[in-house]
């Protein structure tokens, strides 16, 4: 389709997010709130997830630049991605604090929304967008992603019957669409003055003898690529969701969802996968045991895998 998408904003992030959300919509379970408490995080799983976020933040430029042409294109992709990530993390931290009634930071926002700038920049990573463009994309993605975790995720579950347990819509879906739109706009305003004749041909993979190509045409290709990616995600998600609803798969009952002990051997000798979830009423700091009727018992009701991979 002659679409440029070096970092996979459209073909990886947006496609994967809306494919998964469509499957979640088909597999909606109205009684899942019976095991809602098991989704709670614990201190050490948040800590491990934050380590994962730091590694992703540091190495995201290598992902966005991996398939770019060696030389200027790869250098642009790395620099643009870092600029976008820097703007995004500052925006998400500031907005997370502003949205909390006590001015505190939410670990979910820091673990996920701080990476949205890398997702949103994927399509235009190797294009001439200047540092201002990179910072602007990161700023927009930080706002959209953080607001999505606060307002959109509860709306999806309560109104649209989509249980987005890991927030993929906010980290991958919406920033992926932003990246696709940015790609269409950036491609449509490309010019020989900006890239040079040889640079324009190499960047967009155009044969110099192909006189029918134009930046406006490339912009339309980019927009079409975004719509095709979303359409394939929705159709594919519906097909897979319908298949997974077939009764012979033997899905666990609602009360067993988010329970590690159903599928894993869980230790009860003090090396369990997690302490009991933090609760405001217990008045305990991170990592401490719940004091109401539990003594020194360790429980593993919070799934360790809940926070190990930011954004799903």
Listed in order, strand segments (DSSP E) in 235-309 are none
**What's the half-sphere exposure (Cβ side, CA atoms, 13 Å) at 75?**
2
- Residues 214 and 130 occupy one common structural domain: yes
Range of the domain at 15: 9-248
Task: Please indicate, yes or no, if residue 218 is contained in any of the structural domains.
Answer: yes
Identify which of 37-46, 71-80, 233-242 has the greatest average pLDDT.
Answer: 233-242
Report the distance separating Cα 148 and Cα 177, nearest Å.
14
Which has the closest alpha carbon to 188: 208, 227, 225, 214? 214
- Residues 198 and 62 occupy one common structural domain: yes
DSSP 291: -
- Residues 236 and 271 occupy one common structural domain: no
pLDDT at 279 over 70: no
Whole-prediction pTM: 0.82
**Which has the minimum average pLDDT: 5-14, 68-77, 203-212?**
203-212
Burial string for 8-25 (b: 16+ CB within 10 Å, else e) reads bbbbbbbbbbbbbbbbbb
Task: Please indicate, yes or no, if residue 1 is contained in any of the structural domains.
Answer: no
Which residues does 161 contact at the CB level (< 8 Å), separation at least 6?
A: 25, 28, 30
- Residues 244 and 270 occupy one common structural domain: no
- Residues 91 and 168 occupy one common structural domain: yes
SS (H, E, C) 43-96: HHHHHHHHHHHHHHHHHHHHHHCCCCCCCHHHHHHHHHHHHHHHHHHHHHHHHH
pLDDT at 205 (0 to 100):
79
**Which has the minimum average pLDDT: 65-79, 164-178, 198-212?**
198-212
Tally of domains in the chain: 2
- Residues 144 and 277 occupy one common structural domain: no
Angle at 74 between CA 61 and CA 217, to 5 degrees: 105
- Residues 47 and 80 occupy one common structural domain: yes
Whether the CB-CB separation of 164 and 156 falls below 8 Å is answered with yes
* Banded model confidence at residue 201, pLDDT cuts 50, 70, 90: confident
pLDDT at 209 (0 to 100):
57
Which residues does 243 contact at the CB level (< 8 Å), separation at least 6?
A: none
């Amino acid at each position: 389709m002659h679409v440029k998408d070096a970092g996979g904003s459209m073909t990886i992030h947006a496609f994967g997010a809306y494919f998964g959300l469509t499957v979640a919509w088909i597999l909606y379970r109205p009684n899942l709130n019976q095991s809602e408490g098991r989704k709670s995080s614990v201190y050490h799983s948040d800590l491990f997830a934050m380590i994962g976020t730091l590694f992703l933040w540091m190495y995201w430029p290598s992902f966005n630049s991996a398939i770019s042409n060696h030389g200027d294109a790869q250098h642009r992709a790395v620099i643009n991605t870092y600029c976008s990530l820097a703007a995004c993390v500052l925006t998400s931290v500031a907005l997370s604090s502003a949205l909390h009634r006590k001015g505190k930071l939410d670990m979910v926002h820091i673990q996920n929304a701080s990476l949205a700038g890398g997702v949103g920049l994927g399509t235009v990573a190797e294009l001439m967008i200047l540092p201002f463009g990179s910072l602007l994309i990161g700023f927009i993605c930080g706002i959209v992603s953080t607001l999505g975790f606060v307002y959109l995720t509860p709306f999806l579950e309560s109104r649209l019957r989509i249980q987005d347990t890991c927030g993929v819509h906010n980290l991958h879906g919406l920033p992926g669409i932003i990246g696709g739109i940015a790609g269409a706009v950036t491609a449509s305003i490309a010019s020989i003055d900006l890239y040079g004749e040889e640079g324009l041909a190499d960047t967009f993979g155009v044969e110099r003898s192909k006189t029918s190509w134009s930046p406006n045409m490339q912009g339309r290709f980019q927009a079409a690529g975004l719509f095709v990616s979303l359409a394939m995600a929705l159709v594919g998600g519906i097909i897979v969701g319908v298949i997974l609803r077939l009764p012979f798969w033997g899905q666990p009952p609602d009360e067993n969802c988010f329970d590690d002990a159903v599928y894993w051997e869980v230790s009860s000798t003090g090396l369990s996968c997690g302490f009991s979830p933090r609760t405001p009423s217990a008045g305990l700091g991170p990592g401490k045991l719940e004091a109401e009727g539990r003594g020194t018992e360790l429980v593993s009701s919070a799934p360790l895998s809940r926070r190990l991979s930011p954004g799903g």
